[in-house]
Amino acid sequence: MRSGPGLAARRVSRGLAIADYDQDGDLEMAVSTMNGAPLLLRHERKNPNSSVLIQTVGTRSNRDGIGARLKVVSGRLTQYDDVRSGGSYLSSSDLRLHFGLGGATTIDRLELHWPDGATETLLNQPVNRLLVIEEGRGVIRAVRFKPAPPAAARTQRAGSEAARSVQH
């Protein structure tokens, strides 16, 4: 793994938020800097592995599904995560959950344990998509990830400072 100049520069930072802001299947980091512009750290190289983003929409539970526990089974890989808000100092990461899936071409089993106690199980779900799941209705929207932009278009600016890159 190699990191770009965004991780090499010395600066005093406080808040960190993580999200797939360009919805291409990999995660970016936004960092607030003391007395400076925020930084956006993003991948320059497209990760060839599969992944999924899951957005929960509560109906009986709270609207964002905060507190829901998800279990994602793909082949021999089983992962868990919880929908949560907050995180770093004065920061909140994306409420959508990101799961890396390696070379998987499908999610065999997806279990949602909603805060109100209900459990839903979804089988054979697609990868490389944002799946919006509403409590009691299953997947209400599936959006394929965007392809990685051409290299020339990858330089972004966050505030007045150039975005930094992270390469894996």
**What mask, x for binding Ca ion by CB under 5 A, covers residues 26 to 65?**
x---------------------------------------
The Cα–Cα gap between 28 and 81 comes to: 18
The Cα–Cα gap between 53 and 82 comes to: 13
Q: For residue 168, with 0-12 CB atoms within 10 Å meaning exposed, 13-18 middle and 19 or more buried, which class applies?
A: exposed
- With CB under 5 A as the contact rule, which of the stretches 7-15, 19-27, 84-92, 146-154 interacts with Ca ion? 19-27
Q: Which is nearer to Ca ion, 122 or 148 (CB)?
A: 148
Shortest distance (Å) from residue 146 CB to Ca ion: 9
- With CB under 5 A as the contact rule, which of the stretches 20-28, 58-66, 136-144, 159-167 interacts with Ca ion? 20-28
Pick from 6, 20, 55, 96 the residue near Ca ion by CB under 5 A.
20
Question: Residue 36: which of 12, 10, 3, 5 has the closest Cα?
Answer: 12
Pick from 7, 13, 19, 22 the residue near Ca ion by CB under 5 A.
22
Shortest distance (Å) from residue 38 CB to Ca ion: 17
Question: Residue 25: which of 4, 8, 43, 3 has the closest Cα?
Answer: 43
Question: Residue 154: which of 11, 1, 2, 4 has the closest Cα?
Answer: 4
The Cα–Cα gap between 11 and 41 comes to: 14
Number of residues that bind Ca ion (CB under 5 A): 4
Q: Which is nearer to Ca ion, 22 or 81 (CB)?
A: 22
Q: Which residues of the shown chain bind Ca ion in the complex (CB under 5 A)?
A: 20, 22, 24, 26
